[in-house]
Amino acid sequence: DTGVSQNPRHKITKRGQNVTFRCDPISEHNRLYWYRQTLGQGPEFLTYFQNEAQLEKSRLLSDRFSAERPKGSFSTLEIQRTEQGDSAMYLCASSLGGAHEWGETQYFGPGTRLLVL
Amino acid sequence: GENVEQHPSTLSVQEGDSAVIKCTYSDSASNYFPWYKQELGKGPQLIIDIRSNVGEKKDQRIAVTLNKTAKHFSLHITETQPEDSAVYFCAASKGAGGTSYGKLTFGQGTILTVHP
C-alpha cells in the first residue's frame, strides 16, 4: 500500500497525559497537512509543512500542540497535557507540490482517533 | 478566511435515483474544489475534483459542476447504489503560493443513505 499511513489508529489516554501521532505521507509528496475532525463535522486545518518547514499553524493549534517533519519525510503531532476537548480524529494528508497558483489534490490517511478520558 | 456551506446535511434516496449535494464558498480566489467520500472510521477519500478554469467534470456516475459567478459547486451522483451510502464533504482551496498554503476548507458534510 503506497497511500498515506497513520499510527496509531486509535489512542485512549487520560487527561493530562502526552500523546504523539505519526504520519507517513506518500513517498514523493513534499507537502503535508494535519487536520482535526470532530464528530459530525468536516475536517479543520491545523498545520502545514512544505518539506521540513512548518509554514502555517492554525489558531486551533494551541501551545500544547507541536508538530515536526524532520528531513521532510514522516511527521509527528504531539499533544501535551491532553484535555477532554482534544478528543477527535486527527487526519494527515499529503500532496505533490506543483504550480503554486492552483490548489492541489490532497490524499488523506485513515486518521488517528483520540479519546481523552 | 474561506467559508464553505454545504446542503443538505442528510439525503435519503432510493437505489437507482440521482443525488445532488450543493456547496457555496465565500472566497472568490479559491480555485480548486474537491469532493471527498468518508466511510465510518476511515479517512476522506477523493472521488472527484474540479479547477476553476473548468465548468463541469464527469467520471462515470459522478459529476461536479462549478458556477464561479455564483460561487457554488455541486456533486451529482446518478444511478445510486447502496455502496454509495457514506458522508460526502465538499472543500475549497487556493494555491499554496499565497498565505492560504493550499489548505482545504471543508463543508459540514452530507450523510447520504441509498435504500435498496
Residue A95, class by beta-carbon neighbours within 10 Å (0-12 exposed, 13-18 middle, 19+ buried)? buried
Q: CB of A52 within 8 A of CB of A67?
A: no
Please tell me which of the candidates A43, A91, A103 has its beta carbon nearest to residue B102. Answer: A103
Please tell me which of the candidates B43, B49, B107 has its beta carbon nearest to residue A105. Answer: B49
Q: Which amino acid is at A67?
A: A
| Residue A91, helix vs strand vs coil | strand
A31, B32: Cβ pair inside 8 Å? no
pLDDT string in tens for chain A (117-residue length): 579 999 999 999 999 999 999 999 999 899 999 999 999 999 999 999 999 999 889 988 899 999 999 988 999 999 999 999 999 999 999 998 766 677 788 999 999 999 999
A1 CB contacts (<8 Å, ≥6 apart)? none
Give me the phi and psi of A71, to 5 degrees please: 65, 15
DSSP percent split of chain A into helix, strand, coil, nearest 5? 5, 50, 45
Per-residue pLDDT tens over the stretch B53-101: 999 999 999 999 999 999 999 999 999 999 999 999 999 998 766 666 7
Cα radius of gyration rounded to whole Å, chain A: 14
Task: List CB contacts (< 8 A) between B102 and chain A.
Answer: 31, 33, 48, 95, 103-104, 106
C-alpha cell at A79: 499533544
Nearest-angstrom CA–CA distance, A39 and B50: 27
Instruction: Provide the number of CB pairs (under 8 Å) joining chain A to chain B.
Output: 90
- Neighbouring C-beta atoms of residue A5, cutoff 10 Å: 16
Residue listed under C-alpha cell 467520471:
B59
Tell me which DSSP letter residue A33 carries: E
